[in-house]
Amino acid sequence: MSDEKRLITDTDDGMLLIISGPSGVGKTTITRGVERGIADSVFSVSCTTRPKTAADVEGVDYHFVSDEQFEQLRAQDEFLETAGVYGKKYGTPKGWVTEQLKRGRLVILEIDVQGAIQVKRHINDAFAIFIEPPDEQELLRRLHSRKREDEAAIMRRFSQAKEEISQARSSGVYDVFLVNREIEESINRAVSFVAAERKRRRRTSRT
């Protein structure tokens, strides 16, 4: 980026942060905590074909698009990664992420393991954290405590969660596996991991 196009807040400290984890593990709370705890962080808002609910805010929760619009964006190579979840499509906008990285921001993606694998193919120096539960029984307890679904749905999520943890372990994508025992401690640890990695990269770039 040329000097005349730089903003006063621009730096050369850009880094892509991937945060993943199964349902019920607390990854969204940790993601939002990291976003609040690091001043230059920005959260990447995904595009989705799922219907907008009354609780959703366009451009904050998601960019809501039709199936046709989504496929047009995919055909134009506008996504860093895409995923299908329960029949709905999700994708991370490539252009916005790239621009924010150029401006030195910490860009946060909250995506699943398959999405992380795709992103790493495009941006192989992305820093990836996988959030794990203390154990399977605690994960099952947390899924029940959300009181969002019936028992059959909870058990499906539990099975999927165990599979996702196994995939994460074998993928070779993740730099850190963070066990979420207590949420504030986990947020602080995640912020520390990110700060240490950015410091390491700054030091490396000067040598």
> Quick one: pLDDT band at residue 163, thresholds 50, 70, 90?
very high
> Taking 90 as the threshold, does the pLDDT of residue 186 lie above it?
yes
Residue ranges in the chain assigned as alpha helix (H): 27-37, 67-75, 94-102, 113-122, 136-145, 151-171, 183-205
Query: What average pLDDT does the segment 73-95 reach?
Result: 92
Q: Which of 7-16, 74-83, 108-117 has the lowest mean pLDDT?
A: 7-16
Predicted local confidence at residue 1, as pLDDT: 45
Q: Rounded to the nearest 5 degrees, what angle is found at the Cα of 102, between the Cα atoms of 168 and 97?
A: 45
Residue bearing the bigger pLDDT, 53 or 70: 70
- 2 pLDDT higher than 60: no
pLDDT category of residue 78 using cuts at 50, 70 and 90 = very high
Q: Position of tokens 């916005």?
A: 96
Q: Please give the average per-residue pLDDT across 74-100, as a whole number.
A: 93
pLDDT exceeds cutoff 80 at 106: yes
Q: Could you give all domains of the chain from N- to C-terminal order, each with its CATH number?
A: 3-44+105-205 (3.40.50.300)
What is the number of other CB atoms lying within 10 angstroms of the CB of residue 84?
A: 10
Rounded CA-CA distance 163/166 in Å is 5
Model confidence at 89: pLDDT above 70: yes
Structure tokens at 8: 């006063």
CB 187 within 8 A of CB 37: yes
Mean confidence (pLDDT) of the chain: 91
Phi/psi region, residue 128 (left: phi>0; alpha: psi -120 to 50; beta: rest), is beta
pLDDT digits (tens, 9 = 90+) for 13-31: 899 999 999 988 999 999 9
Q: Which of 1-15, 114-128, 139-153 has the lowest average pLDDT?
A: 1-15
